[in-house]
Structure 1
Amino acid sequence: MEQQRKRLRFMLNCALFAALTAILAQIEIPLPLIPISGQTLAVGITATILGSKQGALAMICYAVIGGTGVPVFAGFSGGAHVLVGPSGGYIFGFIATAYVTGFILEKTSFRFQNALLANIIGMFITLAFGTTQLKIILDLSWNAALVAGVYPFIIVGLMKAALASWIGIAVRKRLVHANLILETKQEVV
């Protein structure tokens, strides 16, 4: 019975944070090729709260839901064409970002400083995935891909990393206290 409750909680957390990502994706600032959106903020919050496995699974759910055509991506878009299009690499990067960010926190501790470092590393992972696909799909030079897919996002990305860290740690503490997510050994100390 306890195992079923843990599994249900795991699935609900993944679904909830995939939904959070879909909601924050609709907050966007349009740019010529790739808009600035709340998606990356949601990825950071998700990884900071849920950790590596659940965070990555939530992002897989998000990508699958959007890939099937449900309009959960930025600008209420959806469909496989988005995943294989110029901005699709960012969405695939969310999975790796959530895993690595959560993994860093699990191996260190769920504290703001560690969350900030993990979220900054995660930001660059997302940018690397996104820029690589942007370069390939649009047949850009690396310089053009960096100009379109990285440079406009660094300052905003650092701000979102700080915000995701602060929100994520604060919410995680409350969820652990409410017994809605399991605490790690580092949080017990």
Structure 2
Amino acid sequence: MNGEKLRMIIQCSIFAAITGIFAQIEIPLPLVPISGQTLAVGLTATILGSRYGAFAMVGYAALGAVGVPVFAGFSGGAQVLVGPTGGYIFGFIAAAFLTGWILEKTKFNLTMAMIANTVGMIVILILGTIQLKYVAELSWAQAMAAGVYPFIVVGLIKAFLASWIGITVRNRLVQAKLIDRSPKAAA
């Protein structure tokens, strides 16, 4: 294994761990808590790009699936992934990839990061709400009320924070030569 691949594995692992830590910052709601996970997903994708951002989220989901308590409320286990909120976790993988992909295809700047992170937030809400509706046996109106509406404003705030912090950190990591300017070159 070359040094670059090892560095990216370590970075993906660090961001999976950060996501697990941010998951514990939560505001409980009846079915789906507001947590710091989506902020961590946005940061991960903005800093690492599509491929490694998605790998980090796969690692996060895998850690939780085997029982490590990295999901919101210090929960873990495969039952969380197949439960009412599991769709949001699967959404993290898709959102990290799509957010990073948009940035790779455009430009790593604050404006594009805000657009990409907003799209990522929408992907998480869509996938999460679909699973919530079917697993919890809710109507679409109930699923939207429990799984989308409470998260729109806070989601936009987190998208902005992920964009602002993510671009700042990414630029510093590029300057320090800890990540490539173009994540496509590392693929």
Q: TM-score, normalised by structure 2?
A: 0.97
In 2: Cα distance, 1:133 partner to 1:104 partner: 25
Structure 1 stretches of 4+ moved >6 Å: none
Match in the other structure for 2:166: 168
Match in the other structure for 1:31: 29
Identical columns (%):
64
Q: Give the secondary-structure state (helix, strand or coil) at the position aligned to 1:175.
A: helix
Which runs of no fewer than 5 residues in structure 1 stay unpaired? Answer: none
Q: Give the secondary-structure state (helix, strand or coil) at the position aligned to 1:91.
A: helix
In 2: Cα distance, 1:184 partner to 1:113 partner: 18
Match of 1:10 among 4, 8, 12: 8
Match in the other structure for 1:65: 63
Match in the other structure for 1:181: 179
1:86 equivalent in alignment to 2:69: no
Q: Give the secondary-structure state (helix, strand or coil) at the position aligned to 1:181.
A: coil
Mapping of residues 15-164 of structure 1, within 5 Å: 15-164=13-162
> 1:139: Cα distance to partner?
1.1
In 2: Cα distance, 1:57 partner to 1:25 partner: 18
**For 1:79-118, what per-residue CA distance to the aligned partner results, in whole angstroms no more than 9, with x for missing partners?**
0000000000000000000000000000000000000000
> 1:41: Cα distance to partner?
0.2
In 2: Cα distance, 1:155 partner to 1:140 partner: 23
> 1:143: Cα distance to partner?
0.9
> 1:10: Cα distance to partner?
1.2
Letter in 1 for 2:155: G
Letter in 2 for 1:144: Q
In 2: Cα distance, 1:115 partner to 1:128 partner: 20
CA RMSD after TM alignment = 1.2
Which runs of no fewer than 5 residues in structure 2 stay unpaired? Answer: none
> 1:20: Cα distance to partner?
0.5
Q: TM-score, normalised by structure 1?
A: 0.96
**For 1:48-75, what per-residue CA distance to the aligned partner results, in whole angstroms no more than 9, with x for missing partners?**
0000000000000000000000000000
**For 1:109-160, what per-residue CA distance to the aligned partner results, in whole angstroms no more than 9, with x for missing partners?**
0000000000000000000010000001011111110010000000000000
**For 1:6-44, what per-residue CA distance to the aligned partner results, in whole angstroms no more than 9, with x for missing partners?**
110110011000000001000000000000000000000
